[in-house]
Amino acid sequence: MPANLNCLAKYYDKNMNHKELQAALAEKTGMSQKQCQAILDVFVDVMRKSVVEGESTQMLDLGAFDVREKEQKVMFNPLTGKRSLIPPKLVVGFKASATTKNQIK
């Protein structure tokens, strides 16, 4: 864990859920958990809306979320011996910023 986030160590175990993030925000900011829950809910709604509308959302020092199109591909099922066509689809992508990448190393 990066040194500047040591105050969050008790919440860190590879995966942080919404409640743990809310508690960490409350501890870090001194705000109530209810206020932090409202802020997180609005943040998630704004991010989701941005992604659903196909916009790229960049967050300084974290990274960028965007929508990418995966091309159509042909898959082979070894059990049946048949080939099947997988249609193109949209997926959410994330590219970490240089700051985030450097803190992970």
Domain with CATH 4.10.520.10 in the chain: 54-105
Cα distance between residue 10 and residue 24, in whole Å:
9
Question: Domain 54-105, CATH 4.10.520.10 — does that match?
Answer: yes
How do residues 49-88 score in pLDDT, each as one tens digit? 998 998 888 988 899 999 999 999 999 999 999 999 999 9
pLDDT at 74: 95
Q: pTM (2 decimals)?
A: 0.66
How do residues 4-27 score in pLDDT, each as one tens digit? 555 555 655 567 888 888 998 999
Parallel/antiparallel/unpaired status of strands 89-96 and 63-70? antiparallel
Q: Cα dist. 22→12, 41, 57, 65 in Å?
A: 13, 10, 21, 21
- The one-character DSSP state at 66 is E
Cα distance between residue 57 and residue 79, in whole Å:
42
